[in-house]
Structure 1
């Protein structure tokens, strides 16, 4: 278990906006609807209420400052090895048992390569936030997947759709690699992608159609820290506030991405008609 002692850096962000806009606290108060007294209090203790966070960061976002995304670029330049985690209700501690068993690779702490990846998984939640972490993979056992049959079967197993195929030796060999690893590195699979995988496990589409459809996801890779040894390699950096305008914009982009996956699935069904179905897969070597 590790502690996550991060708060929003609103004090520094207010100073940045005042400097960038060449304005004053009084003018900023009028623009944001936050009282001058409250702005002074933030300058002293660096914290405030949820409603004030929303007013300030909504003003920042609507003024075309993509402050969170720019911070991502800067911390990557500073630390190089940085990952992001989206939390629905905030973090105080992290354990390897914090996720659901039905997540892509079972229990573990899940992170993504980019800020937008993490945002996309929690943008529907009002109290969500994103965290950044420095990390190291030194002296850890790593299990890597690409967009492959093994990756798809591993996710289908953990999400409970393989049925009687779960006990197949090929599946068990994949699970052994996962269970022996400290960290899993694999393509991200959200619910839209899992819909495609479920069609494969139900025998509605073949493996080639599924994998070519899934390659349209563009979500990048996820890192799952599955052991305490792996967690010890994480260092929290910052907590990012997700204002309503930013979350709404993310929701729109996810809808567009969903249309893209649907289109590729339809085209893949026309193009890849001779691929193996799930019953045939288990008669072949992965």
Structure 2
């Protein structure tokens, strides 16, 4: 179920460590507005899962640059930010599909939720073609462990994301 609130991470005096995998150091995160096939639309993507960010860094550096892990701290005590939090459920699936088709505009500052993978799209495809009903599709997705990602969608949200350090990924 989609929740609009100051998420479970947003507690008083909370600092959250987040990682961004890239092919370079990213000193000044910016909202990427030219990406049309992302889970949560345009934004700056990070994760609390170091391994996931390392995979992203290696993937991005395949063609140029060096795989770089950028580590940030986010001051999560921001009650004025509009934050959407998704679980791995039908609302999340719909939101991801709409974003991947570039058919959605939302006014959130940050979106937090699972990272979609090829299994998700395979199951959704079976559901769309009538090979699975919705309950079967959700059951097939339930055992999957999806890394959580954060998409910073506004400059207002990015202002509280600070680079701590960076390192090359081996």
> Displacement of 1:144 after TM fit?
1.2
Query: 1 or 2, which has the higher strand percentage?
Result: 2
Please give the alpha-carbon distance, in whole angstroms, between the structure 2 residues aligned to 1:199 and 1:144.
26
Please give the alpha-carbon distance, in whole angstroms, between the structure 2 residues aligned to 1:208 and 1:133.
38
**1:90 touches 1:129 (CA, 8 Å); kept in 2?**
yes
Structure number with higher relative contact order (C-alpha < 8 Å, ≥ 6 residues apart): 2
> Displacement of 1:129 after TM fit?
1.6
Structure 1: where are the runs of 5+ without partners?
1-78, 167-174, 244-286
1:283 maps to what in 2?
Answer: none
Structure 2: where are the runs of 5+ without partners?
1-13
2:70 is aligned, of 131, 143, 162, to: 131
| Aligned-pair Cα RMSD in Å | 2.5
2:153 maps to what in 1?
Answer: 226
| Normalised TM-score (structure 1) | 0.47
| Normalised TM-score (structure 2) | 0.75
Query: 1 or 2, which has the higher helix percentage?
Result: 1
Please give the alpha-carbon distance, in whole angstroms, between the structure 1 residues aligned to 2:132 and 2:55.
27
1:112 maps to what in 2?
Answer: 47
**2:36 touches 2:101 (CA, 8 Å); kept in 1?**
no
Which structure is larger by alpha-carbon Rg, 1 or 2? 1
> Displacement of 1:128 after TM fit?
1.8
Please give the alpha-carbon distance, in whole angstroms, between the structure 2 residues aligned to 1:213 and 1:88.
34
Please give the alpha-carbon distance, in whole angstroms, between the structure 1 residues aligned to 2:125 and 2:27.
34
